[in-house]
Amino acid sequence: MIKRNKLFGNLTRITFCLPRDIPPGAVSVVGCFNDWEPGRHELVARRDGTRTVTVRLRPGVYRFRYLATGGVWLDDDTADRVDERGCTLVL
């Protein structure tokens, strides 16, 4: 799930959220906003049974995917668009 919150100026806070154990192991959100660098934005377990990570982005079009342990790629069906190349957010 993706949550969006407008901030002052032209920034938007984007929170990426997955269930705590699905998929098992570490999961990072990787995309054009972090040069597709695994581990840079790793999701962290929360008390409510989820794991999340938050980034702040300026207006634009951003591509991303989740990367889980073992090289497993996942898409987020709550993105603005999901295609054969992954997920897209439009801010």
Q: According to the model, what pLDDT value does residue 85 have? A: 87
Q: ω before 19 within 30° of 0 (cis)?
A: no
CA dihedral sign of residues 18, 22, 29, 26: positive
- CA separation for the pair 1, 15 (Å, rounded): 8
Domain 2-90 has CATH 3.40.190.150: no
**Taking a C-beta distance cutoff of 8 angstroms, is the pair 74, 66 a contact?**
yes
**Residue 82's beta-bridge partner residues?**
87
Q: According to the model, what pLDDT value does residue 67 have? A: 97
- The pTM score is 0.93
Q: Where are the domains of the chain?
A: 2-90
| Phi, psi (degrees; rounded to nearest 5) at 33 | -75, -15
Q: According to the model, what pLDDT value does residue 90 have? A: 95
Grouped pLDDT means (10 residues each) for the chain, 91 residues: 95 96 94 96 96 97 96 95 93 90
